Amino acid sequence: MNTMTEPSHESGRWLSDAPMSDELRVIVMSGFSLLLAGANVIMQLSRLPIGRGVVESRVESGALTRHPLKRTRTTLAYIMIALFGSDHEREVLRGEVNRQHREVFSTDSGRVAYRATDPGLQLWVGACMYRGFEEATRLFYGEQSEDLLDEMYRHSARFVTTLQVPSRDWPVDRAAFARYWDEELARIETDEETRAYLIALAGLGFLPRPVVFVLGPLHRLLTTGFLDPVFRDELGLPWSTTREHAFTALVRLLVKINGVLPRMIREFPWNLVLWETRRRIQRGRPIV
């Protein structure tokens, strides 16, 4: 098990840079974890300042509804470099993300005040990312040892320390995180516009009609199933015993498939994203 040292208040990240164990890497790199992506984005945007920031964003090049493939690639690149990148790679990524975030802020006429560089909002986004990996681990690999879960938690601090959040703000351990999470759930809030945006996201409403027709219902089922009830209730997403049974059966099938896939295929597209992002950094090409 990796040993976590005291956080550095100056550098804003954990001092421990021990590499991720192979056991944890196998779990984290599972491509099936992306099935939780829709639910995870909804969780992140269910804080009203973040939801308004996305809906009102003037950064057209990063809008999911206009550039879904680019936005998805950028998000996956961020996760991979945050978890596996060198100090240099993370600095490059931080600079590019900060450049985009500086353009996302509320105006005087806006109904909700926000700025994308707010460390408190960034902490919530990173917390949602960690919860997503934790949930994917439980679903696709079953219960894990406390040591491995602790290691996953420590590495997940990079989701926020790669931005403006100092390492001291990341809850010190999983018990502290659980308390933070329970407190933050009370701050879940959407308005009519952000709620409509997130419901459309659950059904892939931002994609071309043929894609929505074929994949929308399945994506909505998975996304709604992966959401904690508090998020379902906030969005008014219907759930029933029939849907629960269908969701459970589908997850069980995916677990079986995941268990027999060769490692290279099981890690797609994470392995491709990590390789391609590092290639971009080496060549000085933009990531975001």
pLDDT digits (tens, 9 = 90+) for 210-265: 888 889 999 999 999 999 999 999 999 999 999 999 999 999 999 999 989 999 99
State residue 15's pLDDT score.
38
Q: How far apart are CA 258 and CA 252, in angstroms?
A: 10
Q: pLDDT (tens digit, 9 = 90+) per residue, 46-89?
A: 999 999 988 887 766 556 666 678 888 899 999 999 999 999 99
Decide if 202 contacts 38 (C-beta within 8 A).
yes
The full DSSP string for 173-195 is: SHHHHHHHHHHHHTT----HHHH
Return the residue matching tokens 């500086």.
102
Query: How confident is the model over 117-171, as pLDDT tens digits?
Result: 899 999 999 999 999 999 999 988 999 999 999 999 999 999 999 988 999 999 9
Give the DSSP letter of residue 112: S
Indicate the SS3 state at residue 13. strand
Instruction: Give the Cα separation of 114 and 184 in Å (integer).
Output: 17
Are 20 and 82 in contact, with CB atoms under 8 Å apart? Answer: no
Contacts of 285 (CB under 8 A, 6+ apart): none
Domain spans of the chain, in order of start: 22-189+263-282
